[in-house]
Amino acid sequence: NAGVMQNPRHLVRRRGQEARLRCSPMKGHSHVYWYRQLPEEGLKFMVYLQKENIIDESGMPKERFSAEFPKEGPSILRIQQVVRGDSAAYFCASSPLRQASTDTQYFGPGTRLTVL
Protein backbone atom coordinates (compact mmCIF):
# COMPACT_ATOMS: atom_id res chain seq x y z
CA ASN A 1 0.00 0.00 0.00
CA ALA A 2 1.83 3.06 -1.26
CA GLY A 3 2.01 6.09 0.96
CA VAL A 4 1.75 9.70 -0.12
CA MET A 5 3.81 10.22 -3.24
CA GLN A 6 5.43 13.45 -4.29
CA ASN A 7 7.44 14.34 -7.35
CA PRO A 8 9.87 15.54 -8.19
CA ARG A 9 11.89 14.96 -5.05
CA HIS A 10 14.31 17.71 -5.99
CA LEU A 11 13.62 20.65 -8.25
CA VAL A 12 15.99 23.40 -9.33
CA ARG A 13 14.65 26.52 -10.94
CA ARG A 14 16.13 29.87 -11.92
CA ARG A 15 14.52 33.07 -10.71
CA GLY A 16 11.46 33.89 -12.77
CA GLN A 17 10.70 30.34 -13.84
CA GLU A 18 7.69 28.29 -12.83
CA ALA A 19 7.74 25.38 -10.38
CA ARG A 20 5.14 22.60 -10.42
CA LEU A 21 5.01 20.20 -7.51
CA ARG A 22 2.85 17.10 -7.66
CA CYS A 23 1.25 15.06 -4.90
CA SER A 24 -0.65 11.79 -5.08
CA PRO A 25 -2.49 11.06 -1.83
CA MET A 26 -2.69 7.68 -0.17
CA LYS A 27 -5.26 5.32 -1.67
CA GLY A 28 -8.69 6.10 -0.29
CA HIS A 29 -7.72 9.57 0.92
CA SER A 30 -9.70 12.48 -0.43
CA HIS A 31 -8.14 15.34 1.53
CA VAL A 32 -4.80 16.93 0.61
CA TYR A 33 -2.75 19.51 2.49
CA TRP A 34 0.36 21.40 1.45
CA TYR A 35 2.96 22.62 3.94
CA ARG A 36 6.22 24.52 3.49
CA GLN A 37 9.32 23.97 5.60
CA LEU A 38 12.11 26.51 5.60
CA PRO A 39 15.57 25.37 6.77
CA GLU A 40 15.73 24.80 10.52
CA GLU A 41 12.05 25.66 10.93
CA GLY A 42 8.79 23.85 11.48
CA LEU A 43 6.17 23.20 8.84
CA LYS A 44 3.82 26.00 7.90
CA PHE A 45 0.35 25.26 6.55
CA MET A 46 -0.35 26.55 3.05
CA VAL A 47 -3.56 25.08 1.66
CA TYR A 48 -6.15 22.35 2.21
CA LEU A 49 -7.99 20.82 -0.74
CA GLN A 50 -10.56 18.20 -1.49
CA LYS A 51 -11.28 16.93 -4.98
CA GLU A 52 -12.03 19.95 -7.19
CA ASN A 53 -12.36 22.25 -4.17
CA ILE A 54 -10.06 24.54 -2.20
CA ILE A 55 -11.27 24.35 1.39
CA ASP A 56 -8.74 26.59 3.16
CA GLU A 57 -5.99 28.63 1.50
CA SER A 58 -5.28 30.91 4.44
CA GLY A 59 -1.57 30.01 4.41
CA MET A 60 -0.96 30.63 0.74
CA PRO A 61 0.91 33.75 -0.34
CA LYS A 62 -1.47 36.06 -2.16
CA GLU A 63 0.55 36.18 -5.34
CA ARG A 64 2.36 33.63 -7.53
CA PHE A 65 1.14 30.56 -5.62
CA SER A 66 -1.81 28.40 -6.61
CA ALA A 67 -3.00 24.88 -5.89
CA GLU A 68 -5.47 22.46 -7.39
CA PHE A 69 -6.73 18.94 -6.81
CA PRO A 70 -8.57 17.86 -9.96
CA LYS A 71 -11.12 15.09 -10.19
CA GLU A 72 -8.52 12.91 -11.88
CA GLY A 73 -4.81 13.01 -11.22
CA PRO A 74 -2.55 14.39 -8.54
CA SER A 75 -2.76 17.62 -6.60
CA ILE A 76 -0.54 20.35 -8.03
CA LEU A 77 1.15 23.20 -6.20
CA ARG A 78 2.22 25.82 -8.70
CA ILE A 79 4.65 28.64 -8.04
CA GLN A 80 4.99 31.22 -10.77
CA GLN A 81 7.99 33.51 -11.22
CA VAL A 82 9.95 31.88 -8.43
CA VAL A 83 12.26 33.94 -6.22
CA ARG A 84 15.12 32.80 -4.00
CA GLY A 85 12.89 33.08 -0.93
CA ASP A 86 10.74 30.26 -2.34
CA SER A 87 13.59 27.81 -1.75
CA ALA A 88 12.25 25.34 0.79
CA ALA A 89 10.95 21.83 1.26
CA TYR A 90 7.32 21.48 0.27
CA PHE A 91 5.40 18.64 1.87
CA CYS A 92 2.08 17.20 0.94
CA ALA A 93 -0.08 15.30 3.41
CA SER A 94 -3.31 13.39 2.97
CA SER A 95 -6.09 12.16 5.21
CA PRO A 96 -9.10 9.92 4.73
CA LEU A 97 -12.70 11.00 4.54
CA ARG A 98 -13.35 13.20 7.53
CA GLN A 99 -14.47 11.16 10.55
CA ALA A 100 -13.50 13.36 13.47
CA SER A 101 -12.77 17.01 14.07
CA THR A 102 -9.24 16.50 12.84
CA ASP A 103 -8.05 13.47 10.93
CA THR A 104 -4.59 12.00 11.03
CA GLN A 105 -2.43 13.44 8.28
CA TYR A 106 0.16 11.30 6.54
CA PHE A 107 3.06 13.09 4.92
CA GLY A 108 4.91 12.47 1.71
CA PRO A 109 8.71 12.63 1.32
CA GLY A 110 8.61 16.23 0.14
CA THR A 111 9.92 18.21 -2.81
CA ARG A 112 13.03 20.24 -2.16
CA LEU A 113 12.90 23.36 -4.30
CA THR A 114 16.08 25.31 -4.93
CA VAL A 115 15.87 28.64 -6.71
CA LEU A 116 19.13 29.84 -8.22
Partner 1 sequence: QQQVKQSPQSLIVQKGGISIINCAYENTAFDYFPWYQQFPGKGPALLIAIRPDVSEKKEGRFTISFNKSAKQFSLHIMDSQPGDSATYFCAAGGGGNKLTFGTGTQLKVEL
CA dihedral 51, 60, 94, 109 (to 10 degrees): 130
Least spacing, CB of residue 81 vs partner 1, in Å: 26
Q: Map residues 70-109 to x or -, x wherever contact with partner 1 holds by CB under 8 A.
A: ---------------------x---x--x-xxxxxxxxxx
Q: What backbone torsions phi and psi does residue 13 show, to the nearest 5 degrees?
A: -135, 150
The Cα–Cα gap between 107 and 113 comes to 17
Least spacing, CB of residue 5 vs partner 1, in Å: 11
Residues across the chain? 116
Return the residue of 43, 60, 67, 79 that touches partner 1, per CB under 8 A.
43
> What does the angle CA 53 – CA 105 – CA 112 come to, to the nearest 5 degrees?
85
| 11 is an interface residue for partner 1 by CB under 8 A | no
In one-letter notation, the amino acid at residue 91 is: F
| Residues engaged in binding partner 1 (CB under 8 A) | 4, 6, 31, 33, 35, 40-45, 48, 55-56, 58-59, 91, 95, 98, 100-110
